[in-house]
Chain A
Amino acid sequence: MSNKDIMLMAHLMRRVGFGSTKDELEEYIKNGYDNQVDIILDSEPNYEISKHLINRYQPDYGSPMGNSSNGASWLYKMIWSDSPFKEKISLFWHGIFATGYAKLANGIVLHDQIKMFSKFGLGNYKNLLIELSKDPAMIIWLDNCESHKGAVNENYGRELLELFSMGTGNYTEKDIKEASRAFTGWTIANKDYMTTKSQRDSVWPYGRLAMHFEYKEDDHDEDEKIFLGETGNFNGEEIIDIICKQKATAKFISRHMYSFFVEDEPPVPEWPYKEPNNPNAIELLSEVYFDTGYNIKEMLRFLFKSKFFKSEKVWNKRVKSPIELVAGTLRITKEFERPDKQQSSANSHTSFMGQHAMNPPSVEGWHWGTEWLDSGTVVERVNFSSSKLGDVNNSGIRKIINNVKSNISNQYSTELLIEKILEELGSIIVSKTTKDTLKDFVNSKINSEKSLNDDNLSELLQLIGAMPEYQRA
């Protein structure tokens, strides 16, 4: 078991989940890398318990009345789930199929949408697109409930092609029109009542109501359509079938996977003009897409076991999204075990950092990578991370401190102290400049085991929380 093995595992856990601490990594290493990938992908988390526990203390579980409870309970699951990968996948899809509370004024449908991502997000991509097309939140968000036979609204048809499957430049305006025609009649039950309530932000009389899909046959345009060169009386499912057959779809989804799990790609609007960071990786992933019949889980299995993923060149190459930063930090600090007001406050923090869960600014979702960083968000991010890591009263931090102290017992040196802390926090990789800075800081305050008191350690941990490497994954 080499140091490189631990670091590779740390890299994997940062990408499939929200990071792991040293003792967790030591457990996973025992399974061997490839096996561990399989375990992560194939295990099912146990949700029922945490759902009832959250709901008992947070009656707004599912966000019937607002939206923020959704983010708060999602964070709770990210922190305490035995399979954070499930939450990461939902986060991945939420960023692509971005649907926002602002227009819906209904948190339950968003909660249900995330549940749908959880259920279908690792299966067949075709099924996922069909479920998405029937999702009430999406139907209202992109106005498909206002799309009728003879009076077609093209919003969903357009975004389905542009943002959810093929990417711009791979179809024509006519294709958009034809696709939109195929989705007429795909609406929600009690549409007038539901949209009235959304527009009026109505929680009356008895709170908000969940919504469900309804297919209105008499509102569906069943006439012949020509879509991407194929002709037929297509309904929505057939359009999706044709979409999934396209190479462009394979590449588009592969590129999203690469960006989210391997290294930041440029923003989607630039994709027609900018080549992928690793075109070969995108090719390989596209092949798996077709070979496995569009199976998302298998594409990811291939990705995590691939050379391009394991390569040190992509370690720490992404900027953590605010949700990843907050969830990852709280996984380390373990500052609350039961559902608590803290997760509500944590949810507010992701919002201050620019990512309000279930409320992306537009259907494009959030722009990732360096776009998470501006002078306002950097302050929030640095302050949050340093404050949390520096709070030695949190059980997670206390444990890390105890581990470090026992590990350097009787062999104290500045080097060793810093090495051990960074290991405990999940084998964080730092540059020479950062390391030198940390060393100088330690040397100015601590010269022996005796000065390893809470105050000094807290300051050191705060500085570590503030370092640029901590903002990356």
Chain B
Amino acid sequence: MTTSFDIKNKKTMGLAAMQGRGFYYPFDLAFDSNDKIYVLGRGHDYDPRGARITVMDMEEEYYGTFGSFGDKEGQFMWPSSIAISNKDKIYVSDEYLNKITIMTTEGDFISSFGQLGNAEGEFDGPNGLVFDDNNQLYIVDHRNGRIQVFDEDGNYIRKFSSEGESEGKLNLPWGITHISDDTLYISDWGNHRIQEFSTNGDFIRTIGSKGNNESNLLHPSSSAVDDLGYVYVSDWGNHKLKVFDKHGTFLCSNRGEGTLSKWAQDFLDTNVQEKEARSKANLVFELESFKNDPFTESSHVEKLFWCPTSISFHKDKLLIVDSSRHRIQVFNKVEKL
């Protein structure tokens, strides 16, 4: 008897906003020790106001925003990932300026490190960030196809892996997560797989591969692991969430179930004309053009994931940053049916 699995959507948070309450192309998020969420907005090239950090919590309380576009201290140009140390310091990677910026949770600049290059301690597109239990910071140096490890003050410690397609090698990797048995899961975006490494840099295994089946991946951006060892992947190129068990067997997927968040509801309540027109619209449908083109499908059907960039657990909730829809979709863990 085969067991079926399912994953249920709990709610949606967020709103498209260049300033104030909301985000523009959020790429990643992190929690501080007080359960506040710091959502890293990427913005886009023609409107840099979106490059900032928005502070909120799981009840959708809005606490403010800080950070801005630019190349001066404390500013970002292509902010990509965010991590928070156990001392509640914020770390943001910038894949255009090739540096990591350290700030307080109030947004005050502390320091930064990094510059363009491929020597040790230099970056070419620093991306995913994660701390291990010893406060070592793992940085995905994606165009150099490697992981570099630093201490929390930005001092270089070591590195591992290199560019390539074989096992243990990386091709434009993106997200990274760490779990407490001291392993790392790295999203190998260019090789369409998740790779597990020890924190020492020893290759352990891969999950997923390129292909057209439901169990395959296309440019995965990020992954998260629950306490049972299930691996949750934000399958960016397919605009899906995919779940694998601890042996790497595919369990189930979800195409996204965005609903109206508190902030979205507030917007509609203030804009009655738009709310009315929306209530009469049919927002879910299927078109010929959707075949083999989930990007197009997501551009039409609002509730679906559109470029999910980051996935992580907070307590027992799964948070997926749904970047092109400027929101966060929250799910429960996978459950057996």
Which residues of A come within 8 Å of B, CB atoms?
A: 51-52, 55-60, 62, 64-66, 68-69, 72, 108, 112, 189-190, 192-193, 196-197, 200, 202-207, 209-212, 338, 341, 344
Contact = CB atoms under 8 A, between A and B. Distances in A.
Nearest to B50: A65
A69 B299 contact: no
Nearest to B142: A56
Interface residues of B, number: 50
Contacts of B281: 190, 192-193
Contacts of B189: 56
B63 interface: no
Contact of B274 (A60, A68, A197, A344): A197
A472 B169 CA distance: 48
B260 A190 contact: no
A190 B278 CA distance: 8
A205 B46 contact: no
Contacts of B295: 51, 55, 62
B16 A59 contact: no
A204 B296 CA distance: 19
Contact of B268 (A51, A69, A203, A205): A205
A108 B299 CA distance: 8
Given A64-B299, A192-B280, A59 B25 contact: yes
Contact of A205 (B264, B307, B324): B264
A344 B45 contact: yes
Contacts of B323: 59
A341 B280 CA distance: 40
Contacts of B258: 206
29 contacts: A52-B237, A57-B95, A58-B44, A58-B45, A59-B44, A59-B324, A62-B299, A65-B16, A66-B46, A66-B47, A112-B296, A189-B282, A189-B285, A190-B280, A193-B278, A196-B273, A200-B273, A202-B274, A203-B16, A204-B15, A204-B16, A204-B264, A205-B261, A206-B258, A206-B302, A207-B324, A211-B300, A341-B45, A344-B46
B326 A206 contact: yes
Interface string B256-290: 00101101100110010110011011110101010
B47 A65 contact: yes
B24 interface: yes
Given A59-B42, A190-B280, A192-B281, 10 more contacts: A57-B95, A60-B25, A62-B295, A190-B281, A193-B277, A197-B277, A200-B273, A202-B271, A206-B15, A344-B46
Contact of A341 (B15, B47, B96, B271): B96
Q: Name the residue in A62, A205, A212 with the highest tally of chain B Cβ atoms < 10 Å from its Cβ.
A: A205
Nearest to A343: B45
B178 interface: no
Given A52-B237, A209-B302, A212-B287, A64 B267 contact: no
Interface in B293-337: 295-296, 299-300, 302, 306-307, 323-327
B78 interface: yes
Contacts of B15: 204-206
Nearest to B189: A56
B299 A210 contact: yes
B219 interface: yes
Contacts of A207: 16, 306, 324-326
A206 B300 contact: no
A66 B300 CA distance: 16
B232 interface: no
Contact of B307 (A59, A69, A192): A59
B27 interface: yes
A57 B78 contact: yes
Contacts of B95: 57
A209 B46 contact: no
Given A192-B277, A193-B280, A205-B264, A69 B16 contact: no
Contacts of B306: 207
Nearest to B288: A212
A108 B296 CA distance: 9
Which 3 residue pairs across A and B have the least CB separation, nearest first?
Answer: A205-B264, A60-B44, A190-B281
Contacts of A203: 16
Given A189-B282, A204-B16, A212-B300, A60 B327 contact: no
A243 to B, nearest CB: 25
A205 B325 CA distance: 9
Contacts of B273: 196, 200
Contact of B45 (A72, A189, A210): A72
B184 to A, nearest CB: 21
Contacts of A65: 16, 24-25, 44, 47
Contacts of A108: 299
A176 B167 CA distance: 65
